[in-house]
Amino acid sequence: MATNSDFETTRGNGGETHQQVPAKGPHEGSGHLTTNQGIRVSDNQNSLKSGARGPTLLEDFVLREKIFHFDHERIPERIVHARGSAAHGFFEVYESLADITKADLFQRPGEKTPVFVRFSTVAGGAGSVDTPRDVRGFAVKFYTQEGNWDLVGNNIPVFFIQDAIKFPDLVHAVKMEADRAYPQAGSAHDTFWDWASLMPETTHMLMWAMSDRTIPRSLRTIEGFGIHTFQLVDAKGGVTFCKFHWKPKLGVQSTLWDEALKLQAADNDYHRRDLFEAIDTGNFPEWELGLQLFDQAFADALPYDVLDPTKIIPEEVLPVRIVGRMVLDRNVDNFFAETEQVAFCPANIVPGVDFSNDPLLQGRLFSYLDTQKSRLGTANFHQIPINAPKCPFMNFQRDGQMQMAVPKGRANYEPNSLAEHGEDGGPRECPATGFTTVEGRAEADEQGGKLRIRAELFADHYSQARLFWTSLTDNERAHVASSFTFELSKVGLEQVPPRMLANLRNVDEDLAKRVAGGLGIELPKKAPAAREPFAMDPSPALSIQANMKDTLEGRAVGILIADGSDGAEIKAVVAAVKKAGGKPVIVAPKVGGAKLADGSVMKADGQLAGSPSQIFDAVAIILSEVGCKALLKEAAAVQFAMDAFGHLKAIGASAAARPLLDKAGVEPDAGVTDLGAAFVEAAKKRFWARELNVRTLA
C-alpha cells in the first residue's frame, strides 16, 4: 500500500497543483532496467539458450515477461468514441454555489479542482481521422475531494434518440455496414439513413449533425454539453434542475465541408496536433462552465419535456449562468496509459449532483460501467455451452470476442426496411407473445408504475428541429441542405431518401424542396407527425456564423513568399498579425526559405507542397513579379490561392501577386485586400457572401 511519502505532487505550467501520482521508483527514469517484479536485467539483448546455437529455454523469465506484455499491449477499443485526444487541467469556480448545491468543488470561490478531459469523434475507430463530419465527445473527469465526478457529453446539446434502448440500433446503423465493413467514420451511407428516416425523433439531432457544428475548426473551439437534465441538491435537500454548458474562450468555430476534406488530406491528426501544440506552446485552451437552472414549475410550463434528450431549452428562454472556468494546461505523458485507458462513467457523481429520470441518461448509467468491464472480457459469454440457451434465439446483437455465430447480411438494427429491398430484415418484436413486465404501480410514485412508454410531449420530433433551422443564417441553411443532399445521394436504398424528405417536410418545406431538387427526385407526401409541431422563436445563440468573434486570437495566417519577395512587406504583415493575437506562418516553395529582394534569406515555417491554405484561417501572398511568374507554374501555389478563396477566407496580396490570383480564379470582393490594415481586419472573418460564387449549394 502506498503512503503519502510514496507520492509526489505534479503542477501545471502555471504552477497549479493538479493531482498526486506515484513517485518514481528505482525502475523508472535513468536507473537500472528491471522486470515488472523489480528484478534487475543483466542482458536485454539475448534470450537464454541451451548453448550458443541451441533452443531457447522456457525458464527465461525475462524473455517470457517481455513477450507476454508485448502480446497484450492492445486492449479492445471503445465501441464509440474510439478516437480521442485528451489533456490535463483544472476547473476554477468563480463564486460559491452553496445556494443550489452542496458539491464540495462549488463551495469556495477561486478554488481549483484538477480535471482530465477527453475529446473524441463518435463513429470512427481508433485508427480513423480527426476531421470527418461527426459529433465530438466532450468528457470531463473532475478529481474532487469527495471523489471523481464525470460529466460525459458531446459538442451537441441534444441526442439522436430519446430512450437508451435504441442506442445499439443507432450505433449499428451509423457504423461500417455489417457485410462490407465500410464506410469508416462517416454517416453518408444506406444503413444510417435507413434507420434515421424510420426514427422521426432523430430529426432535431440530424439538423445539428448536418450543420457546421460537426466539422469544427479545432477542439479548442467546440462547445460542450451535459445533454441531459440533472439535479443539483443543496445542503438542506432542496433540488434545482440543471443543464450543463461549456463555452469556449475562443468562441465556436467551424470549417467548410470542402475544407474539412482537404484538412483530412493534409493531416489526419489535425485536431489532435492542434490541441497538443496549443498546450505545448502555452496557449492553454479554456472554457467557461455555464448552468441553466430551473425548478419544476418552470419545467411544467414548457411546451416540451425537460427529460427529453432530443430537446434544448433555448438560452433566450433560460439564460446560461456562468459559474467557473476550465483550463487545459498539461499534455498527457503517455497516450495509452492516460487517453486510451481513462474510463468515464456518467454514474460517477458526487454529493450535491444527482440524476433525473431522462430515459437516455438512465440507460447510460448502466451502459458505461458495463462497457468498461467488457473491455477486459467478452460480450459473448452466453455462447459458452454451459450458458447457452437450449431453444433457438435471434436478435441484433453482433460481433465481439469469441463470436461463434456467422450472421449473414447487413440487418443488425431495428427498425429497418431492408426487406423492401429484397434483403433479410431480421427478427421483429412480438407484442402478443413477448415477455411483459407487471406494472407494479407504487403509490409513492406519482409517475405511475413500470411502463415501456414515452411521455406524450416526447412525440414532438419536429418543433425544435424547425427552431434550429430558423435560427441559422441563410448561408448555414444552405450548408444543412447541401449536407442532407450529399449524404442521401450516397444511399442506395431507393425507399430511404423519399422517406427522409417526408420527415423533413415537417421541419421546413423549403429545406425539403432544396434537398429533393439536389437529389433530382419528386417531393414525397409529408410524413404524418405523431404530435403536430409548433412555432418557436428563433434562438440566435444556435448560429455559428451569427456569433463568430471578429478576432485573430487563436488563429493562424499563412504568408506565402518566394524569391524576390519584399522583406519589409513580410515583416509588416507578421507584426500586424502578431499584434492582433494571430500566429503568422511563413510558407515558401522550399522549406529552406526564400531569397528576398535585399539578398537576405528568410527561412520558411512550412513548405508550400505540405502547407495548403486550408490549415490557415487567412492568407497573405507577398510576391515580386519574378516570384509570381515562377509560382504561376506551381500547381500548389495556384491551389493555395484557389482554396483560400473557395473556403471564404481573407486574402491579402501584394500588387505583383495579382496574376497568381487571376489564375486561381480569385475575384475582387471585401475579403480580397492589399497588405495593409484592411487585411488584418478581413483576416478576422469568413466571407459567406462569396460562397454562392464559388460553389453550388442546395
C-alpha cell belonging to residue 279? 498546450
Q: What is the pLDDT of residue 391?
A: 64
How far is the CA of 233 from the CAs of 100, 103, 114, 289, 325, in angstroms? Answer: 6, 8, 22, 18, 21
What are the b/e assignments for 229-259, b being 16+ CB within 10 Å? bbbbbbeeeeebbbbbbbbbbbbbbbbbbeb
CB contact at 8 A, 321 and 97 = no
Q: Which of helix, strand or coil describes residue 239?
A: strand
**Which ranges in 231-358 belong to alpha helices (H)?**
257-266, 270-280, 296-301
Q: Does any domain span residue 473? A: yes
With 70 as the cut, is the pLDDT of residue 14 above it? no
Q: Are residues 173 and 278 in the same domain?
A: yes
Longest dimension (CA), the chain: 89
**Quick check: is 36 catalytic?**
no
Which of 29-33, 279-283, 415-419 has the least mean pLDDT?
Answer: 29-33
Q: What is the pLDDT of residue 695?
A: 94
> Is 405 domain-assigned?
no
Among 14-28, 132-146, 200-214, 289-303, name the one with the lowest average pLDDT.
14-28
Please check whether residue 365 lies inside any domain of the structure: yes
- Written as one letter, the residue type at 554 is G
DSSP letter assigned to residue 175: S
Give yes or no for a cis peptide into 183 (omega within 30° of 0). Answer: yes
Give the residue-averaged pLDDT of 341-354: 86
Reading the block at residue 379, the C-alpha cell is: 460480450
What sign has the CA pseudo-torsion 101, 102, 105, 111? positive
Q: Is the pLDDT of residue 493 over 50?
A: yes
Active site residue 81: yes
Q: Which of 361, 112, 97, 124 is nearest to 225 (CA)?
A: 361
Rg of the chain, C-alpha, whole Å: 28
Q: What is the pLDDT of residue 36?
A: 76
Cell of 149: 465526478
- What torsion, rounded to 10 degrees, do the Cα atoms 162, 468, 187, 86 define? -80
pLDDT at position 3, please? 35
Q: What is the CATH number of the domain that holds 603?
A: 3.40.50.880
DSSP 306: T
Q: CA-CA distance, 358 to 363, in Å (whole number)?
A: 9
CB burial readout 588-624, b (16+ within 10 A) else e: bbeeebbbbeeeeebebbbebeebbbbbbbbbbbbbb
pLDDT at 475 exceeding the cut of 90: yes
Q: What's 63's domain CATH number?
A: 4.10.91.20
State which H helix or E strand residue 246 sits in.
strand 239-248
Q: Does the bond joining 109 to the residue before it have cis omega, within 30 degrees of 0?
A: no
Choice among 13, 32, 72, 81 that is catalytic: 81
- Provide the pLDDT for residue 438: 55
Same domain, 573 and 613: yes
The number of helix segments (H) and strand segments (E) in the chain equals 18, 20
Length of the chain (residues): 698
Tell me the pLDDT band of 446, cut-offs 50, 70 and 90: low
One domain, residues 341 and 224: yes
More confident residue, 71 or 653: 653
Determine contact, residues 114/92, Cβ cutoff 8 Å.
no
Query: Rounded to 5, what percent of the chain is helix, strand, coil?
Result: 30, 15, 50
**CA-to-CA dists, residue 546 to 468, 541, 549, angstroms:** 13, 8, 9
Could you say which of 44, 88, 148, 154 is catalytic?
Answer: 154
Predicted local distance difference test score (pLDDT) of residue 377: 59
Q: Do 467 and 313 form a contact (C-beta atoms < 8 A)?
A: no
Is pTM beyond 0.85? Reply is no
Identify the domain boundary among 353, 374, 395.
Answer: 374
Number of domains in the chain: 4
CA 487, CA 446: separation in Å to the nearest integer? 44
> Are 149 and 271 part of one and the same domain?
yes
Q: What is the pLDDT of residue 378?
A: 64
Q: Which of 647, 587, 662 is nearest to 622 (CA)?
A: 587
Q: Does the residue 415 lie in any domain?
A: no
| Residue-level pLDDT at 20 | 39
Helix (H, G, I), strand (E, B) or coil at 182: coil
Neighbouring-strand partners of residue 672: 651
Q: Which amino acid is at 388?
A: A
Give the β-pairing of 650-653 and 583-588. Answer: unpaired
Sorted by sequence, the CB contacts under 8 Å of residue 202 that are 6+ apart come out as: 160, 161, 196, 310, 461
Residues 601 and 671 in one domain: yes
What mean pLDDT, rounded, does the chain reach? Answer: 89
The answer to whether residue 664 sits within a structural domain is: yes
Q: What percent of the chain has pLDDT over 70?
A: 90
- Domain closes at, from 545, 578, 606: 545
- Domain of 667? 550-694
What is the per-residue pLDDT across 586-632, written as a single tens digit (0 to 9) for each? 999 998 999 999 999 999 999 999 999 999 999 999 999 999 999 99
Q: What is the mean pLDDT of residues 549-557?
A: 96
Beta-bridge mates of residue 21: 8
pLDDT grade for 17, boundaries at 50, 70 and 90: very low
C-alpha cell at 629: 511568374
Query: What is the pLDDT, as a whole number, of residue 644?
Result: 98
One domain, residues 48 and 172: no
Q: Are residues 100 and 234 in the same domain?
A: yes
**CATH number of the domain where residue 98 is located:** 2.40.180.10
Of the chain, the end-to-end C-alpha distance in Å amounts to 64
Q: What is the DSSP letter of 60?
A: -
Query: What mean pLDDT comes out for the span 541-559?
Result: 96
Mark whether 533 and 585 lie in a shared domain. no
Strand partners, 236: none
Flag whether 237 is in a domain.
Answer: yes
Compute CA 519 distance to the chain's CA centroid, rounded to the nearest angstrom. 28
Per residue in 567-599, pLDDT (tens digit) is 999 999 999 999 999 999 999 999 899 999 999
The verdict on residue 99 lying in a domain is yes
* Per-residue pLDDT, 439: 66
**pLDDT band for position 27 (50/70/90)?**
very low
> Among 545, 579, 612, where does a domain finish?
545
CA proximity to 359, closest of 305, 425, 315: 305
Question: In 384-492, which ranges are continuous DSSP H helix?
Answer: 463-470, 474-489
Closest Cα partner for 506 from 131, 142, 231, 207? 207
Query: Are residue 68 and residue 90 in the same domain, yes or no?
Result: no
DSSP annotation of 418 reads G
In the sheet with 606-607, reading across from the earlier edge strand, the strands are 606-607, 583-588, 556-560, 618-621, 650-653, 672-673
Residues 499, 606 within the same domain: no
With 50 as the cut, is the pLDDT of residue 16 above it? no
Distance of CA 162 to the CA centre of its chain: 20
Give CA–CA dist 162/203, Å, rounded. Answer: 11
**pLDDT for residue 552:** 96
Chain-centroid distance of CA 230 in Å reads 22
Residues 118 and 150 in one domain: yes
Tell me what the mean pLDDT of segment 207-227 comes to. 98
Same domain, 529 and 562: no
Domain containing 480 — which CATH number? 1.20.1370.20
User: For 92-150, what is each residue's pLDDT tens digit?
Assistant: 999 999 999 999 999 999 999 999 999 999 999 999 999 999 999 999 999 998 888 99
- The DSSP secondary-structure symbol of 686 reads B
Strand partners, 294: 241
- Asked if residues 59 and 92 have their Cβ atoms less than 8 Å apart, the reply is no
For residue 19, tell me if it sits in a domain. Answer: no
